[in-house]
Amino acid sequence: MKKLATTDMGRLSVEEFQQTEKTKIVVVLDNVRSMHNVGSAFRTSDAFLIEKIVLCGITGTPPHREIQKTALGATESVAWEYAPDTVEALQKLKDEGYTLVALEQTEGSIPLHQFLPAPAACYALVFGNEVYGVQQPVVDMVAHCVEIPQFGTKHSFNISVSIGIILWDFFTKTH
């Protein structure tokens, strides 16, 4: 077995990425405070051809040294926009036909492995603040809340890990 060099992997250029058909998912970051988590969201969104990222509230925006440190250039490939208010940003996405889904532990939340996204649907996936999670007014407006089952002593995953798990799950279930 030979380890592949970057040049052996056949990755898209930024221009090719921008012209490629995207996965019908928008990642929405609801008041994410860590710039490293924002950068990770960009990098993971690039990996799964995500349509765009909406950065809301206190969430940092590119260009920023700490975002770039983990994004590794993905801020150049993945489309993004800033919205001061998450609820308003989600209402706009809902009006455009996106199904709103939050990653949050709620009464009636659906374990991720049991959630079956419709292959032709467009989704806006909301990820919340590292300490407080997704705001209640946002939870009140989404169609579904999903959660990643956990079996240890901790209550949650780091947001960057959660984004990776959720995007992989949605990508594999819709492709």
pLDDT (tens, 9 = 90+) of the chain, 175 residues, equals 999 988 898 899 999 999 999 999 999 999 999 999 999 999 999 999 999 999 999 999 999 999 999 999 999 999 999 999 999 999 999 999 999 999 999 999 999 999 999 989 999 999 999 999 999 999 999 999 999 999 999 989 999 999 999 999 999 999 8
Per the structure, the count of domains in the chain is 1
1 in a structural domain: no
- The Cα–Cα gap between 155 and 131 comes to 11
Residue 100's pLDDT is what?
A: 98
Token pair in block for residue 18: 């921008």
User: Is 107 domain-assigned?
Assistant: yes
For residue 33, give its domain range. 14-148+155-174
Measured distance CA(149)–CA(21) in Å, rounded: 31
CATH of the domain at 105: 3.40.1280.10
Closest CA to 119 of 27, 24, 50, 5: 24
- What's the pLDDT at 6? 81
Supply the pTM of this predicted model: 0.96
> What's the confidence (pLDDT) of residue 95?
98
Q: Is residue 71 part of a domain?
A: yes
CB 145, CB 110: distance < 8 Å: yes
SS3 16: helix
